[in-house]
Amino acid sequence: MGRDNGRLQSVCVFCGSSEAADPAFLRAAGDLGRALADARLRLIYGGGGVGLMGATARGAHDAGGDVLGIIPDFLVGRERALDSVEHVVVTSMHERKSMMFEESDAFVILPGGIGTLEEVVELLSWRRLDLHKKPVVFYNPGDFWKTLFDLFQHTVDAKLTPPEFMDAWRAVETVQEIVPALYAQAGEPMPNIDEQRMLKVT
């Protein structure tokens, strides 16, 4: 899909797949899924049914949203791919990330572990290289991502990364701020959510 027509339509969510995640993070993930569905934004995600990943997908699907999961074959059992949503099975992590990027117009980063960090660093590295200008929004409850942001700033202070890199994303503290931040970064007006809900019903 991508941004071929210049409009925000699909949002990729990177997040943790751990079932041991803080219940508050799991609730926030479900809330984000519902917010994307209410805004008629298609959710692109890693295809699993576990952790924040599964909570986001179920939230979007249960609210009538459009969902696409992309999962490598070796993770179908481990991450319990959701059969209730459209999903594509690919052969590698590289193919998964490439397809997620191509299908998405913007990205949201929820709390996650090493896998989420790997996805984030690659995404922002591509942004640094001017390979894309897609909106990137971090959900940062309780300064979850502060240490990562401090590390980025450390590389700027060491003159290894240009200062403008620190403007490559936005960080918000509440789920309610995520969708408006995506539209603001995209330079598009925020849709009327009540009208969008009516359109889904009719």
pLDDT in tens, 162-174: 999 999 999 999 9
* Residue 190 within a domain: no
Residue 25 to residue 125: CA distance in whole angstroms: 26
* Residue 3 within a domain: no
* Residue 5 within a domain: no
* Residue 201 within a domain: no
Cβ–Cβ < 8 Å for 172, 181: yes
Bridge partner residues of 24 (DSSP): none
pLDDT in tens, 66-103: 999 999 999 887 778 788 889 899 999 999 999 999 99
Task: Look at residue 194 in the predicted model and tell me its pLDDT.
Answer: 60
The three-class DSSP label of residue 158 is coil
Residue 30 to residue 33: CA distance in whole angstroms: 5
* Residue 158 within a domain: yes
Task: Look at residue 198 in the predicted model and tell me its pLDDT.
Answer: 38
* Residue 101 within a domain: yes
Residues 6+ apart with CB under 8 A from 60: 33, 34, 36, 37, 43, 66, 67
* Residue 171 within a domain: yes
Per residue, the 3-state secondary structure of 71-89, as one string, reads: EEHHHCCCCCCCCCCEEEE
Counting the structural domains of the chain, the total is 1
Q: What is the CATH number of the domain that holds 132?
A: 3.40.50.450
* Residue 118 within a domain: yes
Task: Look at residue 202 in the predicted model and tell me its pLDDT.
Answer: 31
The one-letter amino acid code at 99 reads: M
Question: Of 142 and 77, which is predicted with more confidence?
Answer: 142
What residues make up the domain containing 103? 10-185
Task: Look at residue 84 in the predicted model and tell me its pLDDT.
Answer: 86
Confidence of residue 127 (pLDDT cuts 50, 70, 90): very high
Residue 17 to residue 55: CA distance in whole angstroms: 9
